[in-house]
Amino acid sequence: LRADGVRGVRLFLIGPDTSPAYIEHIRSFAAAHRLSDQVHWLGAVPHEELKHYLVAADVGLIPGLVTRQYKNPGLTTKLFEYMLCGLPVVSADYPHRRVYIEEAGCGLVVPPEDATAWADAVLWLRDHPVEARAMGERGRAVVLSRYTWEREQSRLLSFYRTLLGAPQEQE
């Protein structure tokens, strides 16, 4: 983005430091490309503090490159957290994610390794604030109407009973 003259975009990376080498790679890349003022590694953030970052964000990014350690990027809690906060989502295009994003109309999916597609998606959301806001609102509405404990508890309990071989309760 910076190479294209785009300013004012900041990236906050939040999560546990599971790969020190990868984090060092990100820091080195940012330094080499004079992006250290725009790329911020926060590490693990207590869940009760996470909401402060999410409500301040404009877009929720969900990458997920296939690596030796990470062979099957699937559905993440992060998607539903972003949706609940009303953030439009840009996600790596994997089937488990795509179905929820498209069904809710809450964001965009891009090829996982296509940096240009990621940048284009973020810029599109920045340049189309009405559509971005509508995506965020749709995502929030879907989470509140479909993915609550009240709606999911009977399905989850039934699943556990099946795993345990226990008799199913009648609803």
Q: Could you list the pLDDT tens digit for every one of the 171 residues in the chain? A: 555 556 677 888 888 877 788 788 888 888 888 888 888 888 889 989 998 999 889 999 998 866 666 666 778 889 999 999 999 999 999 999 999 999 999 999 999 989 899 989 999 999 999 999 999 999 999 999 998 888 888 888 888 888 998 777 765
Q: What is the pLDDT of residue 71?
A: 62
Q: Are residues 124 and 156 in the same domain?
A: yes
Q: What is the pLDDT of residue 147?
A: 87
Total of domains in the chain? 2
Q: Are residues 67 and 141 in the same domain?
A: yes
Is residue 169 one of the residues assigned to a domain? no
Q: Are residues 75 and 134 in the same domain?
A: yes
Q: Are residues 81 and 22 in the same domain?
A: no
Residue span of the structural domain in which 38 resides = 1-44
Is residue 171 one of the residues assigned to a domain? no
Q: Are residues 40 and 64 in the same domain?
A: no
pTM score above 0.95: no
Q: What is the pLDDT of residue 107?
A: 98
Enclosing H/E stretch for 41:
strand 39-43
Q: What is the pLDDT of residue 27?
A: 85
Q: Spell out a b/e string for 15-33, using b for 16 or more CB atoms within 10 Å of the CB, else e.
A: eeeeeeeeeeeeeeebeee
Largest CA distance in the chain: 63
Is residue 50 one of the residues assigned to a domain? no
Q: Are residues 69 and 147 in the same domain?
A: yes
Cα(61)–Cα(63) distance, integer angstroms: 6
**Complete edge-to-edge strand list for the sheet that includes strand 89-92:** 60-62, 89-92, 107-110
